[in-house]
Amino acid sequence: MARDLNSSGPAAESRPTPAPGRWAALAVLCASLLLVAMDATILNVALPSLIDDMRPTAVQQLWIIDIYGLVLGGLLVTSGAVSDRFGRKRLFLIGFVLFGLASVVAATAATPAQLIAGRVLLGIGGAMVMPSTLSLIRSVFTDPRERTLAIGIWAAVAGAGAAVGPLVGGLLVESHGWSAAFWVNVPVVVVTVVAGVRLLPEFRSAGNGPLDWPGAALSVVGVIALAWGIKHVAKGGLAVGDLAILALGLLLLAVFTRRQLTLAEPLLDVRLFTRRAFTAAALAIFLAMLAIGAALFLMSLWLQYVHGYSPFGAGLRTLPAAGAMLVGSLITPWLMERCGVRAVMALGLGGLIVGFLVLALSPEPTPYGVVAVVFVALGLGDGLAVTASAAVLVSAVPAERAGQAGAVSETAYELGIGLGVALLGSLHASAYAGHMDGRPTGARESIGGAVETAETLGGAAGTRLLDAARAAFESALTTTAYVSVGIVTAVAVLVVWLVPRGFRASGGH
């Protein structure tokens, strides 16, 4: 039976007059989103410079890269509920100020521990900002067609931010060092907060009850424990402690789900996941960002360590992903209107499969031309899948709970990036170490360690070690690409199966 998901909202959803200044408000929201999204990947090309300066261990390197997304993802459900109850504009502005202060902590870091702490604070601030961006769009844009276009722009900015992060990071690192990747946030935060105070309307839900703080604690600890467990088990460690943390995460999230089902005003209405299209949309966002996050991380290292490009040169060569993502996001509303959600999701996820398959089948050493094709396929697929999925999620909830839709969307987005680096990055590291068996310990840990060891050895021995490390990195990349094809194909088939035939985000199914 046809059903219009937008009909679930209150009477305010059918306001005849659109909110004044809504496009200016969208510009402010997109500026903040661009910065938060960039921080998920901006350190990818800065990592070699950071390694030279701080000498972090291989584990610390992974934490520096992905702790931001994991912390952000863990807090998004709570932040979405807080924004619904206490004001989306208020939480947005407080979170962005914290984001600016955290940038200073990270930029002035003298040790890996301080940098990781700064990234944790950035994740907290980002978690306060990101659900508010999508929920404010839900509230400001009351016309479904305008809202779909606004979501397309929002998704384009989110995806482009993640994709251009390496380029911006490379330019800043070459000019001013790795700390500039954080200093750049500060002036943008100041301007955006001032503009936000003037341009953003406030929205809060008058009818919601008190916040479920026990549920909030369960969701935060559960998501972070789950992510930690997946990260360490994926790295090849089956230690009792790692498995226990993974089990704890699953248990806490199960308790959280059971608790939400008993509450009149849940932190997250988990019954939304009984809607097949809603579940499919969350899975599609997670999968798309897992793919692009891992690809940008690994290929940024490949461009610098294997091909010897500078940080800026490496970032420049990731631009095909950003351009394709922008195109994919902006054409999605047009495609959805003509083809429906299911076809657009299938096309987007198919692009991810094609990208990894091209990488897996490419000859070694892989030429950059092949990698450019991979970036285009992944970027286009990501733009299509994320935009269509975000439209489904936003349409599925009434306006007073738009923060929940934002939280689900952003949790899938950030956990996808974080776990992409953790899962596929750890898989690549394990395959690389296997190919480097018998080499010095530092060289086995990472290709960055191999470069340092080769410089210490010098001469013919150093050259042979560096050649072996580059070949090992290439071989590990092929292995990771084949595994990625399997993962993406399996989840893509599930996602397309879950979306009912003829389903439309703003028109029913």
364: three-class secondary structure by DSSP: coil
User: What does the pLDDT read at residue 296?
Assistant: 81
Q: How far apart are the first and last CA of the chain?
A: 7
Determine the average pLDDT of the residues in 122-146: 82
Query: Helices 368-395 and 144-176: crossing angle, nearest 10°?
Result: 140
User: What does the pLDDT read at residue 95?
Assistant: 92
- CA nearest 218: which of 251, 240, 193? 251
Whether residue 261 is predicted with pLDDT greater than 70 in this model: the reply is: yes
Phi, psi at residue 268, to the nearest 5°?
A: -140, 125
Highest mean pLDDT among 33-42, 341-350, 395-404: 341-350
Cα angle 61, 126, 198 (rounded to 5 degrees) comes to 145
Highest mean pLDDT among 96-105, 202-211, 272-281, 309-318: 96-105
Asked if 71 contacts 127 with a C-beta cutoff of 8 angstroms, the reply is yes
C-alpha–C-alpha distance, residues 344 and 332, integer Å: 7
257 burial via Cβ count (<10 Å: 0-12, 13-18, 19+): middle
- CA nearest 435: which of 477, 465, 484, 476? 476
- CA nearest 154: which of 42, 31, 38? 31
| pLDDT tens digit sequence for 13-31 | 444 466 667 888 888 888 8
| pLDDT tens digit sequence for 370-381 | 999 999 999 999
C-alpha–C-alpha distance, residues 170 and 150, integer Å: 30
- CA nearest 390: which of 78, 88, 148, 91? 148
Determine the average pLDDT of the residues in 34-56: 78
| pLDDT tens digit sequence for 98-133 | 999 999 999 999 888 899 999 999 989 988 888 778
- How many DSSP H helices and E strands does the chain contain? 20, 0
Residue 146: how many other CB atoms lie within 10 Å = 17
pLDDT band at 411 (very low <50, low <70, confident <90, very high): confident
**Could you tell me the pTM of the whole model?**
0.76
